[in-house]
Structure 1
Amino acid sequence: MCVCPGLASGLEITSTAQTSIETASGQSVKLDCKFTLAPEDSGPLDIEWSLLSSDNQKEDKVVILYSGDRAYEDYYDPLKGRVHFNSADPKTGDASINLTGLKSTDSGTYQCKVKKAPGIRSRKMLLIVMVKPSKPRCYAEGPTQEGKNVVLRCISNEGTKPLQYSWEKTSDSKLLPSSAVMDPVGGTINVRNASASTSGTYRCTATNRVGSEECILYLNVTPPPNTAGIIAGAIITVLLILIIIAIILFCCCRARNKKKYEKEICNEIREDVPPPKSRVSTARSFTVGSQRSSLGSMSPSNLHEYALKPQYDKIPSSEEFERPPSHAPLPPPTAARMAGPNLSRMGGIPVMIPAQNRDGSIV
């Protein structure tokens, strides 16, 4: 308690409570300031609560005021509506105030000053509003495999420092692994060469002077993966992908070549084969047969006359048949033919010889 001397009077501050208070945010606190008056203190009563500035160059802030038998509670905007006199009539000797809904910004040194002429007395109190730890976050850092070093972390984002962290195992034997190294300030626990027995449920608690919060972590330590199997599977997968790509490219090239070949066949100009010369062969066969039949029916007497007709003994060649009619050669002159009656008198037998037109066909 700090009592500032004043003029000789009977005014005294009688509060003996602690001058430093630590409390959590969100709670309420009472700043005690009780006094007594003497008969010689006859002036008006003034009570003033102010928040002292930590910088001597800045002005102190009046928080609440009682003067002229009236309370003024709206002097300080940050505490507006959250600061009240503890007594409805401070003249009775109770100048204490109540602060509600505390925040960390409410921390500071408060001064209670009581004036009743000719007496003046004051009292200072240090208020520390602390923030309890927020709910921490628990997680495992790094691979949680057998034979590896596993790091468990616990972090609380809010809370007045210093914060303390503690770990405990809540499953199985409820004992931390023998190789575990805990850091109570950093909130970590390092488990070296983790084994299957390291698996289980862990709890981390973050604590400061005004409260604590905790989180739960389930740790599952797994066997190391089969590296050879993973590599083999990856190689097989790559080979299958390459084979599929090769098949697709082969099919595309084959389809493209087939389409190109069909297009070239459609655009190719084909030369027709000339038709067989059926008329020539027919004419030849007919002429030879006719000549044979004619020769067979002739007698020796008319062979001489038949021999005089070389035009009909000769088989026309293909060139003669193909020659235009306008250029066909005229038949050679022959001996005068004998009339039918004269031939009969001579003992000959008239024979009808098939006539031929200029192109060699039989009429």
Structure 2
Amino acid sequence: MASSLEITSKGQGSIEVASGQTVKLECHFTLAPEDLAPLDIEWSLLASDNQKEDKVVILYSGDRAFEDYPVMKGRVHFNMADPKNGDASINLTGLRPSDTGTYQCKVKKAPGIRSRKILLTVMVKPSRPRCYAEGPTEQGKDVVLRCVCKEGTNPLQYTWEKISDSKLLPASAVLDPVGGTMNVRNASTSVSGTYRCKATNLVGNEECILHVNITPPPNTAGIIAGAIIAVLLILIIIAIILFCCCRARQRKKYEKEICNEIREDVPPPKSRVSTARSFTSVGSHRSSLGSMTPSNLHEYALKPQYDKIPSSEDFDRPPSHTPLAPPVLPAPAAAPRMAGPNLSRMGGIPVMIPAQNRDGSIV
């Protein structure tokens, strides 16, 4: 038996919406008296692969709406509180790129069953593009202007326009609306100015501004000469530093060798006579003088001085040199005989000398 249930919506079968926005998927229907079973309305997201299962988005059954399905939980609602009146449309909020797909509205009231499919494409609006000049902007060279968006659903279209001076693009400019480039060959100073690039897709557009300044070519010869001079100065400074370091190292090494060198021709230092020995010698000398008599004074004068400290001339004399004989001195004159009172005035101390025989024994 034929059913009179019909879906009357004749809207678009494909919708493009920007990410983050809200969209309404329409599904209107009419019932007939022959449709006696309870009304069921089911919205589902069809799987792109036939081997996968369709996902239920929202359901109306037994005069009650069920909206807690995990696919779009909290972001889907029926357009009318009571869909029995013939409006099974739904509203999707906070759209994401992952919501893109084919949605099916199925209305069942036995024995009538009807369905409708809608393709939803959630697109990302172009982000603010970045405009820049690639390479040097010098006169006589090719200048490439680029415009790039980090985000945005394809297809993206890029357009360039000049917004300063004559507002006309250079005659030698070659545009690439898909890649977003503008190539200006053999650029001249007239290319200088302000340009605007606009990125557009089906859900929006964004733009950026670029200031271009074409400069004369640099003085290559002057740059090369300056670079050579700078390198030479650096080399000279390095050479001076190395020379100073070498001189300082040689001087330090020479001073170290001088300190460690042993001189064979330098005499040893003179020995110091201790104070105790000096006092002992002086005391014994005085005792000897005090015990002298006129008879042995002459013998004391002829005794060699053994406590005399050798001079530096004795050390300077070569070992192989034969010592010279001491000079012969004339015989000293007989010392005058002094009387006892005179010796006492001179500090002499009278000493009694014991008598000795010829063998030297004391008598």
* TM-score, with length taken from structure 1: 0.70
Q: Does 1:103 align with 2:96?
A: yes
Rate the CA distance shift 1:240–1:45 in 2: closer, same or farther, 3 A. Answer: same
Paired residue for 1:47? 41
Rate the CA distance shift 1:121–1:228 in 2: closer, same or farther, 3 A. Answer: same
Paired residue for 2:9? 15
Rate the CA distance shift 1:95–1:262 in 2: closer, same or farther, 3 A. Answer: closer
CA distance in 1, matches of 2:239, 2:135: 41
CA distance in 2, matches of 1:58, 1:245: 76
Q: Does 1:60 align with 2:54?
A: yes
Paired residue for 1:163? 156
Paired residue for 1:271? 265
Deviates more, 1:197-206 or 1:65-74: 197-206
1:224-274 CA distance string (max 9 Å, x none): 11111111111111211222222223323333344444445443527369x
The alpha carbon displacement at 1:330 in A equals 8.5
1:117-145 CA distance string (max 9 Å, x none): 22222122222222221221111111111
Rate the CA distance shift 1:235–1:99 in 2: closer, same or farther, 3 A. Answer: same
Paired residue for 1:234? 227
Rate the CA distance shift 1:323–1:229 in 2: closer, same or farther, 3 A. Answer: same
Rate the CA distance shift 1:238–1:84 in 2: closer, same or farther, 3 A. Answer: same
Contact kept? 2:30, 2:86, Cα under 8 Å = yes
Rate the CA distance shift 1:324–1:236 in 2: closer, same or farther, 3 A. Answer: same
CA distance in 1, matches of 2:90, 2:264: 118
Give secondary structure in 2 for the equivalent of 1:168.
strand
CA distance in 2, matches of 1:226, 1:47: 79
Paired residue for 2:217? 224
Give secondary structure in 1 for the equivalent of 2:120.
strand
CA distance in 2, matches of 1:107, 1:272: 107
Paired residue for 1:347? none
Paired residue for 2:65? 71
Percent of residue pairs bearing the same amino acid type: 78
Paired residue for 2:133? 140
Give secondary structure in 2 for the equivalent of 1:203.
strand
Which structure is higher in helix share?
1
CA distance in 1, matches of 2:198, 2:186: 25
Q: Does 1:27 align with 2:31?
A: no
Paired residue for 1:312? none
CA distance in 2, matches of 1:22, 1:264: 94
The alpha carbon displacement at 1:60 in A equals 1.4
CA distance in 2, matches of 1:254, 1:54: 85
The alpha carbon displacement at 1:9 in A equals 2.7
The alpha carbon displacement at 1:324 in A equals 4.0
CA distance in 2, matches of 1:71, 1:117: 19
1:32-78 CA distance string (max 9 Å, x none): 11112222222111111111222222221111100011100122x23
The alpha carbon displacement at 1:205 in A equals 0.6
Paired residue for 1:123? 116
The alpha carbon displacement at 1:149 in A equals 0.5
Counting matched residue pairs gives 275
Q: Does 1:243 align with 2:229?
A: no
Paired residue for 1:150? 143
| 1:204 alignment partner, one of 197, 214, 218 | 197
1:124-182 CA distance string (max 9 Å, x none): 22222222212211111111111111101111122221111100111222111111111
Rate the CA distance shift 1:268–1:198 in 2: closer, same or farther, 3 A. Answer: farther
Give secondary structure in 1 for the equivalent of 2:146.
strand
Amino acid at match of 2:96: K
Amino acid at match of 1:13: I
Amino acid at match of 1:98: N
CA distance in 2, matches of 1:121, 1:197: 66
CA distance in 2, matches of 1:104, 1:60: 18
CA distance in 2, matches of 1:331, 1:159: 135
Give secondary structure in 2 for the equivalent of 1:146.
coil
Q: Which runs of 5+ in 1 are unaligned?
A: 1-6, 274-321, 333-363
Indicate the RMSD between aligned Cα atoms, in angstroms. Answer: 2.2
The 5-angstrom pairing of residues 255-266 of structure 1 reads: 255-266=248-259
